[in-house]
Chain A
């Protein structure tokens, strides 16, 4: 609770937090409150400019861009969340195990992690997406998550190995606490702020990875996401015909979402990492 009070005082964190909340509210409540058409419903012709009927005009199929933006933001955030949870879960598990176990197990786990870090993530993402035939938003989130965990694993391992030498861990060991309980009770809780920050970064990375894959044409089927919106505008040349309403909203929403998440992260970094505060 003490931590929460400090967080509430950080301007950067709060600014990021409110923007994220606004985007989230728009994506969750928008489809029921702000529109009465579906994301795939035709409401006009090819690239109608913004009007009272369609606040942000229509896209190449005559669909309402404003409605698509809400549904698209929802899908993108959902994929980012799934990816963030999967990546953080795998990363924390492997990192804690490697940091706590030491010896051969640590060597093996970190060897795998380091090799996977060297291979560019986009490559594995493309190959996996091509191999998975029916991509839903959930499968995309999982695909992104299982390729993104190595960074978290490496960072968590470093934290765990330093925590392992703390006194309270030594005392617990003398009292005969088992390995699993030790990791869950004596080590994990001390890394929560750290893990939460890693999660925010993974969430941001997940949203970006979705956009990248979708823009390349490997997006989720039968769903709108911010990435697929941009993919269509690329395929249908909306940029070159100057139909700004078809691509600027998705571009701005992607940038705003990632910016505010990174802002939150920077705010937390300053608080949990006192060495980063400027002394001058």
Chain B
């Protein structure tokens, strides 16, 4: 082992993690590059052909064609194309949008990204915390409480995100118009740092946030309950009980031990929940990446779709890496260098 890592297990852990995330990043960029090139034929003529089905002037078409040929670099061999794409991505150049020509993809995404992050990160975190407490309580109390909490969580977690979103829009925005049915802020407002805008945005935030949080709570509670029941049956708990250690203290140990796998669960949430959350945004016409993706797919805007998938991957990888860093701090076995990779 390298000398730098001697007696520094945490640094070793971090370097290993960083390496794997780098591999995942390159793999993701490669997928983003190669998969759209599976489209049979020259993608640019396919795209421009699809656009000419609509009533677009031929001069505009020609300009588009040259612009996209240059963007894709299709006259170059494949490995040169990939290199061009990779350096472009690293410089924040994701190409030009079809539907919002001549806007750059990154400029459009940059406006939508904060809305998505502001909606989904708090929803996942709140859902995770509440779900864990509920799951631990269910495991500890058992009996009727457990049966209700477990079945309830099972029900909540199996309702697809967007189904709950649709029901919420219909119930609380159309049938009983308590909340706005769509958008991130009211017509006539403009995104700015003002109190009035903040209140208005919060009003629009409530329903999509709630619909995401409720489903997230269900999933986390089930996982935590399983872990806690498992811990409650272990030897150290039985031994502590026989010794007469107070219930509260036992629960604290159980909670802390059951918590570790749940932190990995948090990292998984970021990756798996994003799909459903994107559709939830589309249901609420929330001005985030989900709604943008919905429009981009309908308008066959390949560069935009590709840009959004890339940004989503990067965000999720970054979130996972942060969770892993925190995990290294929290799990004493990693500080002591007793746990190998994964």
Taking Cβ atoms with an 8 Å cutoff, the residues of A that contact B are 110-111, 114-128, 130-133, 204, 208-209, 211-212, 215-218, 230, 233-234, 239-240, 242, 244, 247-248, 251, 254-255, 258-259, 261-263, 266, 275-276, 278-280
Q: List 13 A-B contacts (CB under 8 A).
A: A115-B23, A115-B27, A123-B312, A127-B32, A130-B302, A216-B278, A239-B169, A240-B169, A251-B166, A255-B163, A258-B160, A276-B230, A279-B233
CA distance A230 to B294 in the complex (A): 13
Q: Is the CB of A130 within 8 A of B312?
A: no
Among the listed A118, A124, A254, A262, which residue makes an inter-chain contact with B154, where contact means beta carbons less than 8 Å apart? A262
Nearest 9 A-B pairs (CB), nearest first?
A122-B275, A127-B35, A259-B158, A131-B38, A118-B24, A217-B297, A120-B271, A123-B309, A251-B163
New contact pairs (10) apart from A120-B272, A276-B226, CB-CB < 8 Å: A124-B35, A126-B297, A127-B309, A130-B305, A212-B275, A216-B294, A234-B282, A255-B158, A255-B160, A280-B232
Q: Would you give the shortest CB distance from B342 to chain A, in whole angstroms?
A: 7
Q: A254-B160, A262-B158 are in contact. Are A122 and B312 (CB under 8 A)?
A: yes
CA distance A275 to B227 in the complex (A): 10
Q: Is the CB of A119 within 8 A of B313?
A: yes
Q: Is the CB of B174 within 8 A of A216?
A: no
Q: Is the CB of A118 within 8 A of B317?
A: yes
Name which residue of chain A comes closest to B23, CB basis.
Answer: A115
Among the listed B162, B313, B317, which residue makes an inter-chain contact with A212, where contact means beta carbons less than 8 Å apart? B162
CA distance A279 to B229 in the complex (A): 9
Q: Is the CB of A275 within 8 A of B229?
A: yes
Among A116, A123, A218, the most chain B Cβ lie within 10 Å of the Cβ of A123
Q: Is the CB of B36 within 8 A of A230?
A: no
Q: A215-B279, A217-B298 are in contact. Are A120 and B174 (CB under 8 A)?
A: no
CA distance A119 to B27 in the complex (A): 9
Residues in chain A near residue B282, CB distance under 8 A: 215-216, 234
Q: Is the CB of B276 within 8 A of A212?
A: yes
Name which residue of chain A comes closest to B341, CB basis.
Answer: A114
Among the listed B142, B158, B232, which residue makes an inter-chain contact with A258, where contact means beta carbons less than 8 Å apart? B158
Give the number of residues in B that approach A within 8 Å (Cβ atoms): 62
Residues in chain A near residue B97, CB distance under 8 A: none
Residues in chain A near residue B159, CB distance under 8 A: 255, 258-259
B283 on the interface (CB 8 Å rule)? yes
Q: A240-B181, A275-B230, A278-B142 are in contact. Are A118 and B275 (CB under 8 A)?
A: no
CA distance A124 to B32 in the complex (A): 8
Residues in chain B near residue A280, CB distance under 8 A: 142-143, 232
B293 on the interface (CB 8 Å rule)? yes
Q: Is the CB of A278 within 8 A of B229?
A: yes
Name which residue of chain B comes closest to A244, CB basis.
Answer: B170
Q: Is the CB of A242 within 8 A of B309?
A: no
B320 on the interface (CB 8 Å rule)? yes
Name which residue of chain B comes closest to A259, CB basis.
Answer: B158
Residues in chain A near residue B35, CB distance under 8 A: 124, 127-128, 130-131
